[in-house]
Amino acid sequence: MNLLEITHRRKNPLSGDWVLVSPHRNNRPWLGATEAVSEHQLPAHDPSCPLCPRNVRANGEANPDYATTHVFTNDFGALTPATSEHSADYAAPSSLFTAEQANGECRVICFSPQHNLTLPELSHSALVAVVNTWQQHYVELAAQYRCVQVFENKGAIMGCSQPHPHGQVWAHPHLSSEIDQEDQQQLAYFQAHGRALLADYVVQEQQAKQRIVFENAHWLVVVPFWAAWPFETLVLSKDDVQHFGQLQQGQMEALAEALSVITTKYDNVFNCSFPYSMGWHNAPSNHNGDTDSKQHWRLHGHFYPPLLRSATVKKHMVGYEMLAESQRDLSAETAAKILIAASHTHYKAG
Ligand code: H2U
Ligand code: ZN
């Protein structure tokens, strides 16, 4: 079958959602406009930035003079720990008015003390420190909460409020909708095939050799067959690992390399600091002494960048996407070709 010549739909086996692909509208590899957008120079330390070392945050606390990463409780967290003082009545008068309690913790993870760096500009050891920090906070929070969501919003276009390199981690006892969906999809696949969905997917992408952007001993970065965003990628653990807590140092070092390569390639596609939302999907934790097997899960990260044709032309998920389902013209295979062709050397360093 040549999917690149006909309009078709592809199914996302992790979510169960479909994406409409119309490659005839746009099936030639191109690099689009690569004009450099004027990125104003940021200082290495900004006295008005609440994430920089030594500065005072909104809650009046000063950040330490940190040297690698720094984590603090979000002063405006969307979730706060449960307190008995707030007892609300969740009894629904009808199933159409269903509500439940939500509590948890939100932390901000500064990736570097340096205000003007982004992940692809960090040294290998600084990136390893970021991955180590993710693991440390994952382990601590997974001991208390079922769902631990590590993520990064990068760029004002993605709603990121601070240029200082940082991500977040939110943890809560309920399963988020995405994790719940992926859990059910992966479990159903495991029950049907006796193997993990993403373990099979790694092998099948290695055989197909059409969408692999980067691979090392422990990680595979692909534009997934079912990608919805133009340059969406999936970072897959090649090892039988369900969550961050299981990663050995060698796997974390290899992950730092994979992150460096993919984020560098992203920046090089349009010679700009590529915006995205990225985050990690861990198996729900068994924090209450549950012994449920998580064999069906495979730790993976999603990168969802919004750019389509240049540093300023983004893909809008509107109209048909909002009302029906995702649609794309640029095929996943063509997006992969563009990312494969993009240099491993950051444009600013070249
Ligand atoms: P985003 O830009 O990705 O939203 O993350 C920045 C977070 O930092 C944001 O959630 C928090 C905001 O609540 N923050 C503090 O906790 N304290 C501050 O003094 C400023 C920003
Ligand atoms: Zn800063």
Does 160 sit in the ligand 1 pocket, CB within 6 Å?
yes
Cα–Cα dist 212/225, whole Å = 10
Query: Is 171:104 a contact under the CB 8 Å cutoff?
Result: yes
Strand spans (E) along the chain: 8-11, 18-21, 70-73, 105-110, 147-154, 166-172, 212-215, 219-222, 233-237, 276-281, 300-304, 326-328
pLDDT in tens, 90-110: 877 788 999 999 999 999 999
Residue 89: the pLDDT is 77
* Structure tokens that stand for 299 in this block: 């730790």
- Strand duo 300-304 + 233-237: pairing: antiparallel
From the CA of 57, which ligand is nearest?
Answer: 1
The residue whose CA is least distant from atom 3 of ligand 1 is 160
Using most ligand atoms within 8 A of CB, pick from 55, 70, 75, 278 the residue to mutate for ligand 1. Answer: 75
Cα–Cα dist 220/244, whole Å = 16
From the CA of 108, which ligand is nearest?
Answer: 1
What are the angstrom distances between the C-alpha of 96 and each of 26, 91, 181? Answer: 43, 12, 21
Atom of ligand 1 nearest to the CA of 75: 16
Atom of ligand 1 nearest to the CA of 167: 3
Please state the φ and ψ torsions of residue 247, each to the nearest 5 degrees.
Answer: -70, 130
Residue 34: the pLDDT is 47
Does 108 sit in the ligand 1 pocket, CB within 6 Å?
yes
Using most ligand atoms within 8 A of CB, pick from 49, 76, 109 the residue to mutate for ligand 1. Answer: 76
Does 50 sit in the ligand 1 pocket, CB within 6 Å?
yes
Using most ligand atoms within 8 A of CB, pick from 51, 52, 160 the residue to mutate for ligand 1. Answer: 51
Atom of ligand 1 nearest to the CA of 77: 13
What is the distance of C-alpha 132 from the center of its chain? 16
281 Cα: distance to centroid of ligand 2 (angstroms):
27
What are the angstrom distances between the C-alpha of 169 and each of 6, 47, 72? Answer: 41, 25, 10
* Structure tokens that stand for 141 in this block: 């929070």
* Structure tokens that stand for 171 in this block: 């943890």
Sheet of 18-21, strands arranged across: 8-11, 18-21, 326-328
Residue 33: the pLDDT is 46
Q: Which residues are catalytic?
A: 166
Residue 27: the pLDDT is 47
Residue 289: the pLDDT is 64
**How long is the chain?**
350
Does 57 sit in the ligand 1 pocket, CB within 6 Å?
yes
Please state the φ and ψ torsions of residue 29, each to the nearest 5 degrees.
Answer: -65, 130
Please state the φ and ψ torsions of residue 14, each to the nearest 5 degrees.
Answer: -80, -35
Please state the φ and ψ torsions of residue 149, each to the nearest 5 degrees.
Answer: -110, 110
Query: Quick one: residue 114, left, alpha or beta (phi over 0 = left, psi -120 to 50 = alpha)?
Result: beta
Please name the fold of domain 45-79+102-349. HIT family, subunit A (3.30.428)
Q: What is the DSSP string of 179-218?
A: HHHHHHHHHHHHHHHSS-HHHHHHHHHHHH-SSEEEE-SS
Query: Is 284:313 a contact under the CB 8 Å cutoff?
Result: no
45 Cα: distance to centroid of ligand 2 (angstroms):
6
Intervals of the chain under pLDDT 70: 1, 26-39, 84-87, 288-291
pLDDT in tens, 132-166: 999 999 999 999 999 999 999 999 888 888 899 99
Residue 93: the pLDDT is 79
Does 161 sit in the ligand 1 pocket, CB within 6 Å?
yes
Q: Is 80 exposed, middle or buried (0-12, 13-18, 19+ CB in 10 A)?
A: middle
Q: Is 285 exposed, middle or buried (0-12, 13-18, 19+ CB in 10 A)?
A: buried
From the CA of 74, which ligand is nearest?
Answer: 1
Query: Is 277:154 a contact under the CB 8 Å cutoff?
Result: yes
Domain residue spans in the chain? 45-79+102-349
